[in-house]
Amino acid sequence: DAKTTQPTSMDCAEGRAANLPCNHSTISGNEYVYWYRQIHSQGPQYIIHGLKNNETNEMASLIITEDRKSSTLILPHATLRDTAVYYCIVRAPTGANSKLTFGKGITLSVRP
Amino acid sequence: SQTIHQWPATLVQPVGSPLSLECTVEGTSNPNLYWYRQAAGRGLQLLFYSVGIGQISSEVPQNLSASRPQDRQFILSSKKLLLSDSGFYLCAWSVASWGYYEQYFGPGTRLTVT
């Protein structure tokens, strides 16, 4: 799986958009970009994934650059409950034994 | 909708005691099931995965075992706990979707071995 690089931390004001960047310059053509988050003392939560087109769901939007070497997760209206560690993962579609490997992620702090 | 349950939420056990953690999934059939461990300040470590009843694959040699007695039930066990077994244990499920696998996690069990 390609390596990802994320800033260590960032913060944003409640109600504003949170833009979380991720670099994955060695991504291969068949690798997807996945985002998970982990709120303190809870299990990780799947957020969104994409290959090359921008994706949006009820939780967030994922913007992938045309060269696919970086992406941005956007939380359009951050709330205090969005404070968590966010993990960007790049991996190819694999079988049932695919194991998730989380790096250090980015700690998002949403301030009132 | 699908939901995943784990219990207990927290557990404190002495060294040498047995362990049984249970995970159940609702709202889906024939899921792939996973047990992960997350040690304090560290990443996820896949312990076991299962593609069906009675089918268990182990990722790392260890003091733990897993069983899947029913389609949506996954159990993590140990006969004798070690101090190093302390951690946050997470169960997850996935189904095949267009050739890739998103995994959905349970709330976790925090195990402290004393």
pLDDT in tens, A53-62: 899 999 999 9
Q: Are A46 and B93 in contact (CB under 8 A)?
A: no
CB within 8 A of B97, min separation 6: which ones?
Answer: none
- B60 CB near a chain A CB, below 8 Å? no
Q: How far apart are CA A49 and CA B90, in angstroms?
A: 21
pLDDT on residue B55:
92
Asked if B57's CB is within 8 angstroms of A43's CB, the reply is no
Question: Which of B7, B30, B105 is most worth mutating to test chain A (most A CB atoms within 10 A of its CB)?
Answer: B105
For range B60-75, the mean pLDDT: 91
The pLDDT, as a whole number, for residue B40 is 75
Q: Please say if the pLDDT value at position B86 is more than 80.
A: yes
Q: What is the pLDDT of residue A5?
A: 93
Q: Does B7 contact A at CB distance below 8 Å?
A: no
Q: What is the DSSP letter of B97?
A: B
Range B4-22 average pLDDT: 96
Query: Which chain B residues touch A41 with a CB distance below 8 Å?
Result: 88, 108, 110
Report chain B residues whose CB lies below 8 A from the CB of A4.
none
Q: In the numeric block, which tokens belong to residue A87?
A: 């993990």
The Cβ-side half-sphere exposure at B80, using a 13 Å CA radius, reads: 1
pLDDT tens-digit series, residues A9-25: 999 999 999 999 999 99
**In this model, does residue B79 exceed pLDDT 50?**
yes
Nearest-by-Cβ selection for B100 from A93, A102, A103: A93
**pLDDT at residue B98, as a whole number:** 47
Predicted pLDDT of residue B101: 61
Highest mean pLDDT among A81-85, B39-43, B102-106: A81-85
